[in-house]
Amino acid sequence: MPYSPSVLNNALEAVGNTPLIRLDKIAEQEGLQCNLLGKVEYTSAGGSVKDRIAKRMVEEAEKDNKLIPGQSVVIEPTSGNTGIGLAMACAVKGYSVIITMPNKMSLEKEAALRALGAEVVRTPTEAAWDSPDSHIGVALKLQREIPGGIILDQYRNLNNPLAHELTTGPEIIDAVTSTPSTTAKPSSEKVDVLVAGAGTGGTITGISRAIKKTHNRDCIVVGVDPKGSILACPDTLNVEGAGSLYIVEGIGYDFIPDVLSRDTADVDSWIKTDDEESFEAVRKLMRLEGLLVGGSSGSALSGALRWLKSAEGKCIAEKKGANVVVLLADGIRNYMSKPWFLKMALEAEPSPLAKRISDILKES
């Protein structure tokens, strides 16, 4: 939980204010001269970057008198993290919540949602976004039938990118500008590159706007999109693996959400990633940096490393003091029972130390 010097009124006040942490060992292993910095969102109260938009969407709806305590039922289609943020906000504020979520999303997310008092409806992962069976279709059906039902709609709600323009972006800028350059740790004291995965696209769009409008117009913003999704731009990037399913949760879609800016003024370039490289990058973040991140954080790191090796990124990779910020969207809490994580954690090659332990125990 982020440290606060004073007593907080409720859990929502512990949303955001997340740390920006140097990823020096990974940078060294990859031969990078630039700084690699992780914006670690799992320390937010609900465990992800999406707490910020949940809090803002609820509070702005309250200001517009769209939410009435005791009457309103917040319904939201989500890959889980927005749902957890909303369920947390609604627990604090006293609204009922229904979350619709594709089957592929983890049991841990469903358990966290139910523990916070939300109802959870699972939907077929393969259902197209505009099918009545999809998480979006089912949410719309429930809204039509349930009195007081309201969909805050993260895919269209401008408070989604705005939450990041007003909080995530400024926090990154503050951290980078308030850490002076030293001989041991040179820094441009600017955000030179920002890399983030996209689901609704609110995170990357909002952070990009904050940085480019108020801090560094020339910052290069790189979006990360899984193979099988269609968010990357230009569309030709999405041909390889089109329509294939992927395991990483929270990024990629089969439609372009309104809040995702595909304007190259906001997102300069895109990298496509696959599951394998994402999970390998999660392992690196855990083993080398001690960061217990989730799968999409691995995609973001893997995308960042691939971009830094590309013709476009090479000059940044070789530039001492350039700051490359990678958005690490959630934590491993959400994925502890997923086969990809259990395999990584429990089926690794025994280390020399493990072999020694087993020899000692056999001897005795």
Which residues are catalytic, by number?
50
238 binds ligand PMP (CB under 6 A): no
Determine which residue in the list 12, 97, 127, 251 makes contact with ligand PMP, applying CB under 6 A. 251
18 binds ligand PMP (CB under 6 A): no
Inter-residue contact 90 to 96 (CB < 8 Å): yes
Shortest distance, position 312 Cβ to ligand PMP, whole Å? 22
Determine which residue in the list 18, 35, 48, 123 makes contact with ligand PMP, applying CB under 6 A. 48
When CB distances to ligand PMP are compared, the closest residue is 250
Determine which residue in the list 169, 197, 303, 331 makes contact with ligand PMP, applying CB under 6 A. 197
Q: According to CB under 6 A, which residues from 313 to 342 bind ligand PMP?
A: 329-330
Length reported for the chain: 364
Distance set, CA 244 to CA 133, 212, 226, 241, 257 (Å):
19, 34, 10, 6, 19
Q: With H, G, I as helix, E, B as strand and everything else as coil, classify residue 49.
A: coil
Q: According to CB under 6 A, which residues from 76 to 95 bind ligand PMP?
A: 79, 81
245 vs 354, beta carbon nearer ligand PMP = 245
Q: Which stretch binds ligand PMP (CB under 6 A): 16-24, 145-153, 196-204, 270-278?
A: 196-204
Tell which residue, 223, 219, 201, has the closest CA to residue 210: 219
Residue 203: enclosing H or E segment and its boundaries?
helix 202-214
Residue 110: enclosing H or E segment and its boundaries?
helix 107-115
Q: Which two tokens stand for residue 83?
A: 């749902």
Shortest distance, position 165 Cβ to ligand PMP, whole Å? 12
Tell which residue, 28, 100, 45, has the closest CA to residue 330: 45
Determine which residue in the list 39, 50, 56, 135 makes contact with ligand PMP, applying CB under 6 A. 50
Q: With H, G, I as helix, E, B as strand and everything else as coil, classify residue 254.
A: coil
Shortest distance, position 48 Cβ to ligand PMP, whole Å? 6
Q: With H, G, I as helix, E, B as strand and everything else as coil, classify residue 112.
A: helix
Q: Which stretch binds ligand PMP (CB under 6 A): 212-220, 248-256, 265-273, 354-362?
A: 248-256
Q: CA-CA distance, 303 to 313, in Å (whole number)?
A: 11
203 vs 238, beta carbon nearer ligand PMP = 203
106 binds ligand PMP (CB under 6 A): no
> What's the sign of the alpha-carbon dihedral 3, 9, 10, 12?
negative
Q: Which stretch binds ligand PMP (CB under 6 A): 5-13, 133-141, 179-187, 249-257?
A: 249-257
Q: Give the total of residues touching ligand PMP (CB under 6 A).
A: 18
Q: Which two tokens stand for residue 331?
A: 């934590």
E strands within the chain? 20-22, 35-40, 73-77, 96-102, 119-123, 149-151, 193-197, 220-226, 269-273, 323-328
Shortest distance, position 161 Cβ to ligand PMP, whole Å? 8
**DSSP track, 145-168:** HSTTEEE--TTT-THHHHHIIIII
Q: Which stretch binds ligand PMP (CB under 6 A): 115-123, 200-208, 266-274, 310-318?
A: 200-208
* Sheet of 269-273, strands arranged across: 20-22, 35-40, 323-328, 193-197, 220-226, 269-273
249 vs 289, beta carbon nearer ligand PMP = 249
195 binds ligand PMP (CB under 6 A): no
125 vs 181, beta carbon nearer ligand PMP = 125
164 vs 212, beta carbon nearer ligand PMP = 164
Residues that bind ligand PMP (CB under 6 A): 48, 50, 79, 81, 197-203, 249-251, 294, 296, 329-330
